[in-house]
Structure 1
Amino acid sequence: MKRVVFVHGGSHAQLATLADPALAPYRITPVHIRTLVAAELADADVVVVSDRLRPDLLIPRSSALLACLDRGATVVLFGENSVGTWLPGVREDSRPTVFWWWRTGEDHRIRLREPDHPAWPYFAERAVRWHYHGVLEPPAGAVSLVDLETVTGERDGSLLYIDEISTPGRLLVTTMDPVYHHGSGFMPGATQFLYSALLWATRT
């Protein structure tokens, strides 16, 4: 069984997610970002970095996460974690969030890409089309599975990408924040995305 480490900051949503009985089979090891040291991740097969961690705590410890990729582990990086400031080769730009497009009738402008990618059997459309915080421009060779378009129909940037090229490990990065919404009990699709990401990380 793969060892899964969940890096969190002790927020109500993060603790509620860790207490979710549906995640019990993963036997997740929680690690608080304040106490994170490289040794705690040394034998982790999968490292999940919760969304919305404090940048002043995450960025100084980011080298421990990058070391996991260098040794071949899988790292899942959820949104609002300032990845543009510490993840090599990534540009991050903020965008206004369309919160309730299914109620207002707005075009969410979220577009699914690469339909033949092996990750797609793990992610239903509803799981990846609900919410976002900004766009990313991934490194060359990474595969964007979900893009945001501009109002004129041009590609604006990635909302979800997988990088299996830049390091010996596998990296999933998104600007969505499923832990916050799952733990807070609102936002359609967030729970499904969280569960799907864990399945992808541990079964592939």
Structure 2
Amino acid sequence: MSAMPRVAFVHGGTHAQLATLADPALAPYRIRPVHIRKLEPVALADADVVVVSDRLRPDLLIPRSPVLLECLARGATMVVFGENGVGEWLPGVQEESRPTNFWWWRTGEDHRIRLRAPHHPAWPYFADRSVIWHFHGVLKPPQGAVSLVDLETVTGERDGSLLYLDELSTPGRLLVTTMDPVYHHGSGFMPGATQLLYSAMQWATRS
């Protein structure tokens, strides 16, 4: 990756996505916004890093997903945030919905979020708080991908991945999560979401 990677941010023009793009803390990345309706090969042709914002409209994202897959095929780094139906367009990925527990820290419930692969080189970029807040569903990643964050069932069994890193199934690198940090950061609440957003940007551009 070049000293200053070229970063493209795929968004749908929602208030949270636009607020995130306007965040001064992200200015050093020199992000190039790409609206989902204008997602064509030329829009991402020179991008070293592609960030797919959470909560994009599936009827717009899924038909254009081959453009994203082509970025991975040529070796780009991609971050895909949550509620984007990845089970319908990312090869080898299965996705299942799960109830979202918004207030476990107030009720005292076990959030059942478990950190995995503690010695993985990605972990220095992510603090615990950045990946323990809430989620939208679980994933079964492709063979060879490393789950960094899992959800457990109430009986202590592994339910699925909440955040995984795939560096094997394509020439590129792919970080996928069911968490939705852009929405919460741009909406001004959920501090852990802000940390995840910033951490993912650092990982994608510096590792």
> TM-score normalized by structure 1?
0.99
Map 1:136-175 → 2, pairs under 5 A: 136-175=139-178
Separation in structure 2 between the aligned mates of residue 56 and residue 9 of structure 1, nearest angstrom: 12
Task: Note the residue ranges of structure 2 that are not aligned, 5 or more in a row.
Answer: none
**Residue in 2 that maps onto 1:91:** 94
Q: Are 1:198 and 2:201 matched, yes or no?
A: yes
Q: CA deviation at 1:35?
A: 1.1
- Give 1:188 shift: 2.8
Indicate yes or no: 2:150 matched with 1:183: no
CA RMSD of aligned residues (A): 0.4
How many angstroms apart in 2 are the aligned matches of 1:132 and 1:177? 7
Deviations 1:52-82 (A, max 9, x none): 0000000000000000000000000000000
CA distance in 2, matches of 1:118, 1:195: 17
Structure 1 unaligned segments of length 5 or more: list them: none
SS at match of 2:191: coil
Separation in 1, partners of 2:43, 2:124: 31
Kindly tell me the number of residue pairs found equivalent between the two proteins.
204
**Equivalent residue for 2:67, pick from 64, 68, 71:** 64
Match among 3, 20, 25 for residue 22 of structure 1: 25
Number of the residue aligned with 2:76? 73
Which amino acid in structure 2 is aligned with residue 42 of structure 1? A
Deviations 1:114-170 (A, max 9, x none): 000000000000000001000000000000000000000000000000000000000
Amino acid at match of 1:119: A
Query: Residues of 2 paired with 1:36 and 1:86: CA distance?
Result: 15
Q: Percent same amino acid at aligned positions?
A: 83
1:25-44 alignment runs, 5 A limit: 25-44=28-47
User: Are 2:149 and 2:164, in contact at CA under 8 Å, matched by a contact in 1?
Assistant: yes
Instruction: Tell me which amino acid in the other structure corresponds to 2:115.
Output: L
Q: CA deviation at 1:187?
A: 1.2
Structure 2 residue identity aligned to 1:72: G
Q: Is the partner of 2:201 in helix, strand or coil?
A: helix
TM-score (norm 2): 0.98
